[in-house]
Structure 1
Amino acid sequence: MEQKDLDHFRKLLNEMLEEAQQKGDATLDDLTDNSEMFADPADRATAESDRAFTLRIRDRERKLIKKIRSAIARLDEGSYGICDECGEDIGVARLEARPVTKLCINCKSKQEEDERQRAD
């Protein structure tokens, strides 16, 4: 991969990281600001359901942040864009679609097929 591509992905990953951290902070603010008391059980149940949904979103953001940081570390190490399974280069188009990926499209397709076969 050329240096200009690596610079592009570093910029993209840093932007993704900043956005994910801002969303995570906003979600955390929403959770702490939710101090209302509900007399009606239905309102309380709705609020708890909303809180659970917000926590799931927060967990997904946390996992994404971890993946982004891992991708940035691979950039620093010089292994970004190399498939963890086969060692081949991951295509730029795949990296554009999923900058945090560790697998080339062939290995990812094989992984998904194996998962489908195990589920059956």
Structure 2
Amino acid sequence: MASAAHDDIDVLAKAKRALPHDYAPTDDEDYMTDKQLNYFRVLLLEWKKSVYAASEGTLQSLQDGPIREPDLNDRASSEADWGIELRTRDRQRKLIAKIDAALRRIDSGDYGWCQVTGDPIGINRLIARPIATMTVEAQQAHERREKVSRDS
């Protein structure tokens, strides 16, 4: 079941390759110009298209697979593969929701700004993770708070 091997990074890299190569945002420009926002909109739409393409493979493999295997080992293996496929499909569904939220932030003018501090997230972080909603520092603080509350 090959679609389980597709992770977010591979699909994002595929989306980036589909972008026109005549422009890439840099730190030297004014922050969140129309040109940059358009770049990220196209990137997010390409990423979404790539995720949908990968999810079609997941759905197809789930539909093609046999429901019951006569051998217990084969059945266990098939069920494990199906579990992986279903988790992959769930991750893809959640990623689509995050991409849609980022597109809404572009439309509302909030894209690229930290939802916690209001500071710029940064071009390099957005290129690496276009759905980012926090600066690296705010994200690290959030993860520390999560870890502390989990450990309590």
Work out whether the TM-score is over 0.5.
yes
Q: Is it true that 1:28 corresponds to 2:59 in the alignment?
A: yes
Which of 24, 38, 47 is the aligned partner of 2:69? 38
In structure 1, C-alpha distance between the alignment counterparts of 2:105 and 2:48, rounded to whole Å:
15
Note the residue ranges of structure 1 that are not aligned, 5 or more in a row.
none
Question: Secondary structure in 1 aligned to 2:120?
Answer: coil
In structure 2, C-alpha distance between the alignment counterparts of 1:13 and 1:100, rounded to whole Å:
8
The structure carrying a bigger helix percent of its residues is: 1
Q: Is it true that 1:54 corresponds to 2:76 in the alignment?
A: no
TM-score normalized by the length of structure 2: 0.75
Note the residue ranges of structure 2 that are not aligned, 5 or more in a row.
1-31
Aligned residue identity for 1:112:
E
The match for 1:18 is 49
Question: Secondary structure in 2 aligned to 1:48?
Answer: helix
Structure 1 consecutive aligned stretches of length 4 or more whose deviation exceeds 6 Å: none
Q: Is it true that 1:70 corresponds to 2:101 in the alignment?
A: yes
Q: CA deviation at 1:112?
A: 1.4
In structure 2, C-alpha distance between the alignment counterparts of 1:45 and 1:109, rounded to whole Å:
39
Q: CA deviation at 1:104?
A: 1.2
State how many pairs are aligned.
120
CA RMSD, Structure 1 to Structure 2 (Å): 1.2
* CA deviation map 1:68-119 (0-9, x unaligned): 0110111111111111111122111111111001111121111112123234
